[in-house]
Amino acid sequence: MKATIQHTQQGIGLYIHWPFCLAKCPYCDFNSYVAEQIPQEAYAKALVQELQTTLAEIPKVPLTSIFFGGGTPSLMLPSTTQILIDTATSLLPVSENLEITLEANPTSVENQKLKDFYHAGVNRASLGIQSLNPTALKALGREHSVGQAIEALTIAKKIFPRISFDLIYAREGQTIQEWEGELQEALALTHDHLSLYQLTIEPGTIFAKQYRQGKIILPDEELSTAMLTITEMITSQYGLQAYEISNYAKPGAESRHNLTYWQYKDYIGIGPGAHGRVTLDQTLYATERHKNPVRWLEHVQQNGHALSVKEALTPAEKAQEMLLMGLRLIKGVQAQQFEKRCGMALTDAVNMSMLSALVEENFLSWDQECLKTTPQGRLRLNAILEALLK
């Protein structure tokens, strides 16, 4: 990796999608597939190719983060990770403290590869632990045990300067006391960052079918609200503050890459189905890649990239996206930054009489400079956005 430089120019993040998993989890609707044998070499070559083609077409702005997401990127060969990092950092200037995250599933084989990922350049591991309860792990269809999850954390803590892990809560049959116990246990194992997601039923998943058939019953709104409230309370007792609806960190340990999305800054997305938001000649474009890995590979092999969408965004589209992202953040959306990015005033982008009503009902706070959700508002974010957007 080349030497870091300091740059005053706005930076850019890089997302790299790895679409393969060992098994499909019944709750998951991410763009992920189970392959009998992963065509490692062909995918490595195509990802590097797509990265090179893409970087040749964008201005040389400093790279602020790289995120290997999936699917299960810990199934990648560490040599693939290394060549992608080297390619990106040789074609773009690198900002100070370049954050390089890799999502890893805690099976034994993958645990043994963590050191190699570190040597490849990864400096932040995000582990998909999901639960510390063996019965729940089974119900979530996970391929690893609680023991393997703890082993992954122990190994990762010795290797990486920064680690985070994911848990899913508000699961079927989970009581508030059970979640409190599991969360306390998790916090005792935590370094400085946690992602805590309430289970959602996603269309097209096995859970969606079981939910329709009445085989899965989730906590009602009152219980999930109470669970979120105690989650924010307990994590803060351990020094981890909520900075986004599902993300908790010690000050300074926030995920810089994910902040790029929530603050609506530029990022490149490569790999099957990856999205990007890239500014070219002062116009913000939404980009998308072919979603199906086989199609994606064919396109890259033929054209050097698998871009399926490149669309200039209108001020209204940008405004909608920036609010969708920014209101997830505890700090909310700054009016000045909003206007600069979207080319329209925040007060013109939202229904102002609805905004006043939502402030009155204590779902939003607005002081002419910053619009943010209250804890109560965060629990009903989708409904609030629907009401607010013109």
Q: Which residues are at the interface with ligand SAM (CB under 6 A)?
A: 27-28, 30, 69-70, 72, 103, 105, 128, 130, 166, 168, 197, 199-200, 202
Q: What is the nearest approach in angstroms of ligand SAM to the Cβ of residue 16?
A: 13
Q: Of ligand SAM, ligand SF4, none, which one does residue 377 interact with (CB within 5 to 8 Å by kind)?
A: none
Q: What is the nearest approach in angstroms of ligand SAM to the Cβ of residue 41?
A: 22
Q: DSSP characters for 326-370?
A: HTTBTT-EEHHHHHHHHSS-HHHHB-HHHHHHHHHTTSEEE-SSE
> What is d(CA 276, CA 51) in angstroms, rounded to the nearest whole number?
12
CB nearer to ligand SF4: give 77 or 344: 77
Q: What are phi and psi of 46, to 5 degrees?
A: -70, -40
Q: Does 24 bind ligand SF4 (CB under 6 A)?
A: yes
Q: Mark residues 92-131: x for contact with ligand SF4 by CB under 6 A, - for none.
A: -------------x----------------------x---
Which residues from 31-60 bind ligand SF4, rule CB under 6 A?
32
Residues in the chain: 390
Q: What is the nearest approach in angstroms of ligand SF4 to the Cβ of residue 218?
A: 17
| 173: region left, alpha or beta (phi > 0 left; psi from -120 to 50 alpha) | left
Mark out the alpha helices in 215-303 (DSSP H runs). 221-237, 256-262, 293-303
| 17: region left, alpha or beta (phi > 0 left; psi from -120 to 50 alpha) | beta
Q: Does 72 bind ligand SF4 (CB under 6 A)?
A: yes
Q: Of ligand SAM, ligand SF4, none, which one does residue 33 interact with (CB within 5 to 8 Å by kind)?
A: none
Q: Does 197 bind ligand SF4 (CB under 6 A)?
A: no
Q: What are the DSSP E strand ranges found in the chain? A: 12-18, 20-21, 33-34, 63-70, 94-104, 124-130, 162-169, 193-198, 241-244, 247-249, 267-270, 275-280, 283-289, 307-312, 333-334, 364-366, 370-373
Cβ neighbours of residue 158 under 8 Å, at least 6 residues apart? none
CB nearer to ligand SAM: give 185 or 339: 185
Number of residues in contact with ligand SF4 under rule CB under 6 A: 11
CB nearer to ligand SAM: give 372 or 378: 378
CB nearer to ligand SAM: give 58 or 159: 159
Which residues from 242-301 bind ligand SF4, rule CB under 6 A?
none
> What is d(CA 53, CA 49) in angstroms, rounded to the nearest whole number?
6
Q: Point out which residues bind ligand SF4 (CB under 6 A).
A: 21, 24-25, 28, 30, 32, 70-72, 105, 128
